[in-house]
Amino acid sequence: MTRTARMSRSRRGVRILAGALLAVTVPAAGVAAAAPAPSAPEPDGRERLVAEIDDAVAEAKRIQDARTAGPRTRGAEPGPASDDVDEALDDAVAAVVADGALGATARVEAPGVRWTGAAGLRELGGNAPARAYDRFRVASNTKTMVATLVMQEVERGRWTLDTTVEDVLPGVLPAEIAGVVTVEQLMSHRSGAPALHIQQMIIDRVSDLESWEDFLDALEQRYTIDDHLTTIGNLPWDFEPGTDGAYSNAGYVLLGLMLEEETGWPLDKLLTWRVFLPAGMWHAGYPEEPGVRGPFMVGAAYAGEEGGWESLDEWDPTMFAAAGAATAGTRDLNRLNEALFSGRLVSSETVEDMVTPRGTLFGGTIEYGLGVYRVPDPCEPGEFLYGHDGAAYGTVSINWSSLDGERQITLGVNARDISGGEAPLYDLGVLLTPMLLATC
């Protein structure tokens, strides 16, 4: 979408949107901004995504429990009990688009099931259909990749889990913080690092907090590592390191910088040579410039009925840096989990350490380890699926696997509701629940 097209938005629509937009991108606690406080603050986008994940897992468990409780019957609900698993999954990926998503691509691999599918559009305003092999911005799935690099440094004896920020980056943060915050705490979101530093960086560049156009301009600007560090340094630490847990992109930005300082290599090269190539992630990347090439699902943000859709074709990945700048397709993400959990990227002992939960985040069922979390496996009572999700301003993705790698699901949707409305734009469970059931 061109800048001219963006500017054609009515000023009335922009003003109506502003409060809801800032309520989502900047929750009331933790960030000082001149935006008017909403009467009932909405949860931030990740909290909403976690709630959708919890609902989808619970629904899959309910359906699977009903299947196994009595005589096996064949119904409309997808899963191995049906002879039409592929058709049911095709219907599911189409359904999430019909429900309001722009485009979706997904993959399921399990004993007896190898399915890929896609529906909808590759880009807002275009007519190219989304395809199963399309890449997309995987956002926080990047954290699994970065945590893998960190654990490789631990295995090489250069670091331990107790290595501090000050040990590697002396003087980058106040010594009273940097001297006690460890790489383990950063990886597990238990460091107390500011949870909202990216939102604060954006707000700092928005001159008119009621202007949707200003917000879009901030998304398309470049954010240097100094910008990240300055904001992280200026915000108060959320809690004393190791005493609590709160999801923090700042922690992974610091880990990325620590890796570059320790190895002398830029993060894109480290990821390419030590994660992407060994895992067979042939189409994965870590871009540092906006824009994309080749088959790609471009992110799009939905700002409510008044603001409508906006393409994020010029979104700058430096905004997320090591916390979420990677791109990949579903096969790449699938191979990441397969290579990691099989012990090809780090040892089996290290894998066990990474998947061991350090705490629960967002009050839901997600139990977070070191760059990897686990959710209850709806197919196997008492067991878990492992991996991560990603939520950028224009995309949502999920990448989960059983620990033996036999059952895997991966999806990417190039649409994100940032309007702060009471109901999400689309129900991710329309796709996620049938995918889970197909692995049972």
What is the CATH number for 123? 3.40.710.10
- What's the mean pLDDT when you consider all of the chain? 86
**Structure-token match 């945590």, residue found:** 147
pLDDT in tens, 389-416: 999 999 999 999 999 999 999 999 999 9
- The pLDDT of residue 72 is above 60: no
What is the C-alpha to C-alpha distance for residues 258 and 73, in angstroms, rounded to an integer?
A: 55
Find the Cα–Cα–Cα–Cα dihedral 238, 239, 243, 245, rounded to 10°. -10
Beta strands in 138-238 (DSSP E): none
What is the C-alpha to C-alpha distance for residues 144 and 354, in angstroms, rounded to an integer?
A: 9
For residues 349-359, give the mean pLDDT. Answer: 97
Phi-psi region of 316 (alpha: psi -120 to 50; beta: other; left: phi over 0): beta
Residue 355, both tokens = 């998947």
Q: Please state whether beta strands 416-417 and 300-302 pair in parallel, antiparallel, or not at all (unpaired).
A: parallel
pLDDT at site 84 = 80
Range of the domain at 34: 3-438
Q: Which residues contact 393 (CB under 8 A, 6 or more apart)?
A: 25, 219, 299, 301, 312, 315, 416, 418
Residue 209, both tokens = 């907090």
What is the C-alpha to C-alpha distance for residues 105 and 281, in angstroms, rounded to an integer?
A: 17
pLDDT at site 166 = 97
- In the DSSP assignment, the letter for residue 283 is T
pLDDT at site 351 = 98
Count of the separate structural domains present in the chain: 1
This prediction has a pTM of: 0.89
> Please, which residues bridge with residue 396 across strands?
391, 413
Contact 144, 271 (CB under 8 A): no
How far CA 230 is from CA of 18, 41, 129, 293, in Å, comes to 26, 27, 41, 32
List strands edge to edge, sheet with 396-401: 113-120, 103-110, 408-413, 396-401, 384-391, 373-376, 367-368, 359-360
pLDDT at site 6 = 38
Terminal-to-terminal C-alpha distance of the chain:
42
Burial of 293 (0-12, 13-18, 19+ CB in 10 A): exposed
pLDDT at site 10 = 31
> Please, which residues bridge with residue 129 across strands?
121
* Longest alpha-carbon distance in the chain: 66
Helix axes 249-263, 142-155, angle to 10 degrees: 40
Nearest to 126 by CA among 253, 300, 366: 300
- Count of Cβ atoms closer than 10 Å to residue 83 Cβ: 9
pLDDT at site 70 = 62
Quick one: pLDDT band at residue 36, thresholds 50, 70, 90?
very low
